[in-house]
Amino acid sequence: MRMVSSRPLPCAEADFLFAGAPILRTLASAPDPVFFLRMKPRVTTSDIARVVGLHQTTVSLALRGDRRLRPETIARIKSAAEKLGYVPDPMLTALASYRRSRRPRANHSLIAWITNWPTRQGWLCRPMFVQFYEGARQRASELGYRLEEFWCNTPKISPKRFSQILYARSVQGLILAPQPDGVTSMELNWPHFSAVTIGPTLRSPLLHMVTNDQYRTIFRLCEILCERGYRRIGYAIEKHHDERMNQLWSAAFDRFQRDLPANRRTTRFEGPRDAERIRSWLLATKPDVVFDCEEKGWSILKSLRDSVGFKPDFALIGVTSDKTGLSGMSENAPMVGAVAVDRLAALLHLGEVGIPSVVTHTLLESHWVNG
């Protein structure tokens, strides 16, 4: 039979072996040994429920901003919570979130992927947009949501009616796909929804946004091209593409060129993109590498290489597949879609709906892809 030593334990060992030891030491050293007994207990949702005369479940829903409750009820409960000094317990909040994520989700877990193109399938013409969607769909599934496409440009359906359709389908969360060329606004009954937009093309209303860091993408591209030995970098992006990116592409290129010697700087080509204009620009600028945001830029450049007397290389912004054989910057489109779902899930969890008073932008880095 094993004997237990009766030697006194060092203080450090006692603290670890006996859970009450640290508390006892604190009580012994406190000016008032019973101060723990007079500590103000944490205010709970049950306390708030007693004050406002409502069920605890109603209080919990109101504190999350659940839209099934009337706005005046939510305001009354939140006001009472503030007066009582209610502070959510972060550990209990995390536990509740975990338990909700483990339950089978009903229709209210539907996330709407909103497209605003002239035709229902118009957005599919951009491979990057398809990757946004696939990344969002996979992440939504991992979190227990279901992502479904909704076309808001349906003929004879007003924004009010479209909002009613979403509401009838129990949709609370929206991810707004990039807007088509020439469109920068969208009308919906925003107070009913939590919403995140992908990319900077939606200008009205201003919503929480997840996007690639467009400025950093161009700046890093220029750095990489210089590291690879190119001395004269050519910018060949049509102006309307740059405007969709809030002119961040041209701003990054101009800033990068400021630090180059004068004999390495080039003028930007901003379209319109036709062979003769590009040929004149190549002869005047003589770049040894050209970058563009569309693959057709490479097709035109290849056709002109013999006629201009030199053969500049090409880099693509927004490489979506290694099958193109083109080198350039991948904007990590699937991850952009996934992070958009994460951001939306956080808004849904917090009950934040409507147009935010302070907009947040989540920016993701690009990476270089060898063609």
Q: What is the pLDDT of residues 208-225, one digit of tens each?
A: 999 999 999 999 999 999
Q: HSE (CB half, 13 Å, CA atoms) of 207?
A: 36
Per-residue pLDDT band for 109 (boundaries 50, 70, 90) equals: confident
Distance of alpha carbon 110 from alpha carbon 77, whole angstroms: 27
CA distances to 21, 192, 293 from 267, in Å: 74, 48, 17
Cβ proximity of 114 and 136 under 8 Å: no
All residues at 6 or more sequence positions from 31 whose CB lies less than 8 Å from its CB, including other chains: none
| pLDDT (0 to 100) of residue 20 | 42
Whether residue 47 has pLDDT greater than 90 = no
Among candidates 159, 288, 183, which has minimal Cα distance to 226? 288
Distance of alpha carbon 369 from alpha carbon 229, whole angstroms: 17
What CATH number was assigned to the domain covering residues 214-330? Answer: 3.40.50.2300
Q: What is the dihedral of CA 190, 192, 194, 198, to 10 degrees?
A: -40
Residue 254, token pair as written in the block: 């101009």
Q: Which of 31-35, 89-93, 117-121, 320-324 has the highest mean pLDDT?
A: 117-121
Q: Give kind and range of the element (H or E) at residue 194.
A: strand 194-198
Distance of alpha carbon 21 from alpha carbon 231, whole angstroms: 70
Among candidates 110, 186, 106, which has minimal Cα distance to 152? 186
Angle, alpha carbons 89-92-94 (nearest 5°): 105
Among candidates 334, 354, 345, 363, which has minimal Cα distance to 97? 345
Distance of alpha carbon 50 from alpha carbon 52, whole angstroms: 6
> CATH fold of 45-98, please?
434 Repressor (Amino-terminal Domain) (1.10.260)
* Residue in the block written with tokens 């929480």: 208
- Average pLDDT of the chain, as a whole number: 86
Percent of residues, the chain, with pLDDT higher than 70? 83
| pLDDT (0 to 100) of residue 235 | 98
Higher confidence at residue 115 or residue 324? Answer: 115
Distance of alpha carbon 360 from alpha carbon 364, whole angstroms: 13
3-state class of 195 per DSSP?
strand
> CATH fold of 107-212+334-364, please?
Rossmann fold (3.40.50)
DSSP state for residue 40 in the 8-state scheme = P
Cβ proximity of 344 and 136 under 8 Å: no
Q: What is the DSSP string of 282-304?
A: HHHH--SEEEESSTHHHHHHHHH
Determine which of 38-52, 96-110, 262-276 has the lowest per-residue pLDDT on average: 96-110
Distance of alpha carbon 328 from alpha carbon 333, whole angstroms: 14
The domains of the chain are located at: 45-98, 107-212+334-364, 214-330
Topology agreement, domain 107-212+334-364 and domain 214-330: yes
| pLDDT (0 to 100) of residue 262 | 95
Higher confidence at residue 313 or residue 156? Answer: 313
Mean per-residue pLDDT for 71-76?
Answer: 86
Q: HSE (CB half, 13 Å, CA atoms) of 119?
A: 5
Whether residue 316 has pLDDT greater than 80 = yes
Per-residue pLDDT band for 158 (boundaries 50, 70, 90) equals: very high
3-state class of 200 per DSSP?
coil
| pLDDT (0 to 100) of residue 34 | 46
Distance of alpha carbon 340 from alpha carbon 361, whole angstroms: 11
Among candidates 259, 166, 186, 246, which has minimal Cα distance to 211? 246
Distance of alpha carbon 321 from alpha carbon 151, whole angstroms: 27
Per-residue pLDDT band for 16 (boundaries 50, 70, 90) equals: very low
